[in-house]
Chain A
Amino acid sequence: MLEESREELMRFMLLFSRQGKLRLQKWYLATSDKERKKMVRELMQVVLARKPKMCSFLEWRDLKVVYKRYASLYFCCAIEGQDNELITLELIHRYVELLDKYFGSVCELDIIFNFEKAYFILDEFLMGGDVQDTSKKSVLKAIEQADLLQEEDESPRSVLEEMGLA
């Protein structure tokens, strides 16, 4: 029987600021809330301690971590085993490109104020840690369609309705 542990699996992806504020966390392996918090705290410390001239890969616990800093945000993926770190870098870059296209010159504030959109885009790009579609166009089209559906769905509300008075 082949080995139990899968050769490549992305465990999780984190986005966090230079001040150590979490902006997104996507877990692809069932982990308890407590354990997640611990891992996030630890990993953030390790990554934030890295100097700018260091390479994008590091070993942490039994995982490989691939991270890249874009402006004030760190994009961090934890992968397993015999993984190809270079392709993970491409994956991270792809995601950033998608965000950039969607928000138009994305900055950290976009991700803060529209965190749910960041998740939606990620979920269109990756599933279970695997790439769904290499085509940016395809992914963005899907998001667009979903956004449209959401808009159509939300029938226009009056201001009073908004205030809960009608």
Chain B
Amino acid sequence: MPGQRVFLHSRTLPVRMVAPSLKLQDLIEEIRGAKTQAQEREVIQKECAHIRASFRDGDPVHRHRQLAKLLYVHMLGYPAHFGQMECLKLIASSRFTDKRVGYLGAMLLLDERHDAHLLITNSIKNDLSQGIQPVQGLALCTLSTMGSAEMCRDLAPEVEKLLLQPSPYVRKKAILTAVHMIRKVPELSSVFLPPCVHLLHERHHGKAVGLPILCFSSVDRRIENRMGTPAHRRRVAHTHRHTRNRLSCPWPPPFTSPTLTPGILLGTITLITELCERSPAALKHFRKVVPQLVQILRTLVTTGYSTEHSISGVSDPFLQVQILRLLRILGRNHEESSETMNDLLAQVATNTDTSRNAGNAVLFETVLTIMDIHSAAGLRVLAVNILGRFLLNSDRNIRYVALTSLLRLVQSDHSAVQRHRPTVVDCLQETDASLSRRALELSLALVNSSNVRAMMQELQAFLESCPPDLRADCASGILLAAERFAPTKRWHIDTILHVLTTAGTHVRDDAVANLTQLIGGAQELHAYSVRRLYNALAEDISQQPLVQVAAWCIGEYGDLLLEGNCEEIEPLQVDEEEVLALLEKVLQSHMSLPATRGYALTALMKLSTRLQGDNNRIRQVVSIYRSCLDVELQQRAVEYDTLFRKYDHMRAAILEKMPLVERDGPQADEEAKQSKEAAQLSEAAPAPTESQASQLLDLLDLLDRASGDAQHPPPLDPSPGGALVYLLDLPCAPPPPAPIPDLKVFEREGVQLNLSFIRPPENPALLLITITATNSSEGDVTNFICQAAVPKSLQLQLQAPSGNTVPARGGLPITQLFRILNPNKAPLRLKLRLTYNHFHQSVQEIFEVNNLPVESWQ
């Protein structure tokens, strides 16, 4: 292996006898030499067996080595719980080597969940009081890493003692251990508060600063009174007794060396920070030292520290950051403190060297502090500008923190952040997705009514090229911003259209509904919208939301599409066949989702009332889909087909254009449409073809005279309203209770005529007859006209037929609806006259319909 180390005790020794244990490094080598996972496991299991045996035998000499090996395999993921007790033994040993490994083991293998962890409390206590600095260091480190709440309570007095040790090495460690203890047991704040103040009072380089030394006992009592449960109070009182006793000694205790090393200052600031976060009393207390903190930081920044404590030319950035953090906590929600630090913050913000990360780290912390306290407006702008400069930094990490911070500030300091909008937009081009995502979020947050056009342009350009996982957010962000700030409806429609074209598959489900509602509500833009959507659809039928909206639009406003003139768009020459073909293409495409096909089918159906030509093509499509495997489509097709055949009189009314919907109102769904349609049906009653009816009266006269069976007409029922009222009552689909059987009334050379009857239950006087002409012959039937006559006492209305051609071999039938009002329930008699061309011959047939079922008039 290249770079392999050669160790002093390599295995040139004779064969292992009586199991002398492997050295740690030898074991590591052996493990690394294993070629497979299985081999590694074997080596380790074998060694662990040795280790376990060694532990059992209680070999004190090699114990530290055995544990070290165990810790190594533990890091590889193997179990090491059987080493826990060995940690205790090693810690208790007097040899430093043992303690070193033992404490390490304790930190790695023991945690507060194990009962064993409490057992090291005593050892720690002993080690803390022994006075050997490295040992004290180990003990403190272990306590601060894995000390449980119980251990912290037990050992607080010891740690407190060490805060006053002359040795700066131990003191600084004790201070940071106190930080951990307060985290675990917040009540211990009261123990560590007094020494903190004192530590801060000490000044390095022997300079003394006059600071009133507080009366600690009163501070204690105040804090004590805030204690919670009696159990808490007892426990704290216990430690307090300890403290109070010592308070009777002169305070501060005499020191041999008053110098405060930087390490201690750093630790002290950290401890004070922790105290202020945990205890409102401490917070209030330390607000008094804000001036002193300001002075310390100012000195640090201006006259500088030793080079030993500088990083990249910045004086002790760790200390600067820590002080800034503390100032943040003290200045938060406190005007006076905030004011005291304003100047200093401005000074740090402007004087810090920004060429390296260390300086930028300090600058960043300054910005965080400025934004969190009550700073002057100018200072806040300065902070935002620093972040703006960060955005231009070549270091990606700095741009990241800038974007994150600006995101947090964009609401509270909107105008200040707006100034950096161009830079933010540039960041959309970041190659790192976490940066571009933040840039996107920030850009969207910066959109307002004055910059919306420019911003949307940028964002739409971004949408076209952005990474796929940002597409959805970008699309929905654009749509939302468009909704809030659209300068004109047309711009809004254009924007949505563009989003649907670019990222159609990534938009949210309600985008379709929103767009249809938007278009529906903008009457002046119907022509424009339908044209644009038609063009878009003609180009690409794969983007489902777009296709759905386009289909809906074409269905609704197909008439406008064919009109051919709209000022805002290039003139478009589209003929009906093209439109129908496009919709059929959508219907048939395998790319279309079932919902999309539903839209297309409905659109086709609507066009049957919008277009001028005959509806044969549409009827054909509808008919085909009656047997579609998709149940939803099948149902629609069946219903639409029925609409053609039996309810043709209602078709135009039902397929009317949707009324303009309030943007904020409920979505116009089918039910609303129906109810609104119903209100409009009064205008939509189809004009009866009266001319035909009058022609046949002569025939009827003949009938009447011939039969002589005319019954005496019973008194007239006062019919409620007129035809219009009945239409309103008519349900769309449900069949009458007892369906009257169909009747075949005519057949000639494959041409057949059937009658079907409907008596709407709400209106007993009304009879609806639908005639259906079918053609099973080899020749087409053309120019088909059907006329009818009924007795005088009945009223007849003929509706327009669906067409006048029945193609050969079972081609699409012709249907026509007769409406007969028979208020007197006179016996129904019906005479029909048919004329058509078939096999190049003119055919005329006149006949009376026999066997009319009595249900049709009784």
Contacts and interface: CB of A to CB of B under 8 A. Distances in A.
A146 interface: yes
B5 interface: yes
A130 interface: yes
Contact of A164 (B19, B177, B368, B401): B19
A119 B102 CA distance: 13
Contact of A109 (B3, B72, B183, B309): B3
A84 B177 contact: no
B75 A22 contact: yes
A84 B434 contact: no
Nearest to B67: A116
Given A22-B75, A165-B17, A127 B400 contact: no
Contact of B20 (A21, A31, A94, A163): A163
Interface string A107-139: 101001101100110011001101111111110
A55 B262 contact: no
A133 B101 contact: no
B620 interface: no
A26 B97 CA distance: 21
B364 to A, nearest CB: 5
Contacts of B3: 107, 109
A140 B675 CA distance: 85
A37 B77 contact: yes
B68 A116 contact: yes
B318 A87 contact: yes
Nearest to A159: B13
Contacts of A134: 262-263, 266, 308-309, 311, 316-319
B208 interface: no
Contacts of A138: 263, 308
Interface string B407-451: 000000000000000000000000111110000000000000000
Contacts of A123: 141, 145
What does DSSP make chain B's interface, helix, strand, loop or mixed? helix
Contacts of A164: 18-21, 62
Nearest to B356: A90
A109 B4 CA distance: 8
B97 A154 contact: yes
Nearest to B183: A6
B330 to A, nearest CB: 12
A9 to B, nearest CB: 8
Nearest to A138: B263
B308 A137 contact: yes
Contact of B145 (A28, A56, A116, A153): A28
Contacts of B101: 116
Given A90-B358, A142-B137, A150-B100, A132 B172 contact: yes
A78 B5 CA distance: 33
Contact of B368 (A21, A82, A145): A82
B100 A89 contact: no
Interface string A140-164: 0010011001101110000101111
Interface in A35-66: 37, 53-59
B832 to A, nearest CB: 80
Given A119-B104, A128-B176, A142-B169, A84 B361 contact: yes
B325 interface: yes
Contacts of A153: 95-97
B645 interface: no
Interface residues of A, number: 69
Contacts of B400: 55, 57, 85
B111 to A, nearest CB: 5
A23 B74 CA distance: 11
Nearest to A66: B397
B365 interface: yes
A87 B365 CA distance: 9
Contact of B397 (A22, A89, A150): A89
A130 B368 contact: no
B180 interface: yes
Nearest to B319: A134
A111 to B, nearest CB: 11
Contacts of A146: 96, 100, 134, 137
A135 B262 CA distance: 9
Contacts of A128: 144-145, 176-177, 179-180, 183
Given A153-B95, A164-B20, A165-B17, A84 B397 contact: no
Nearest to A29: B183
A8 interface: yes
Contacts of B433: 54
A40 B68 CA distance: 21
Given A55-B399, A124-B137, 18 more contacts: A2-B278, A9-B183, A25-B75, A54-B434, A55-B400, A57-B397, A82-B368, A89-B397, A109-B3, A123-B145, A127-B141, A128-B144, A128-B179, A130-B176, A134-B262, A149-B96, A163-B13, A163-B17
28 contacts: A1-B280, A2-B280, A22-B75, A24-B75, A27-B145, A56-B396, A57-B401, A84-B368, A86-B360, A87-B361, A89-B357, A90-B358, A113-B28, A116-B101, A119-B107, A123-B145, A124-B137, A128-B176, A132-B173, A135-B306, A138-B308, A142-B134, A145-B134, A153-B96, A154-B97, A163-B18, A164-B19, A164-B20
Interface of B: 3-5, 9, 13, 17-21, 25, 28-29, 32, 61-62, 68, 71-72, 75-77, 95-97, 100-101, 104, 107, 111-113, 133-134, 137, 140-141, 144-146, 148, 169, 172-173, 176-177, 179-180, 183, 262-263, 266-267, 270, 274, 277-278, 280, 283, 306, 308-309, 311, 316-319, 321, 325, 329, 357-358, 360-362, 364-365, 368, 396-401, 431-435
The 3 closest A-B pairs by CB, nearest first: A86-B361, A127-B176, A133-B263
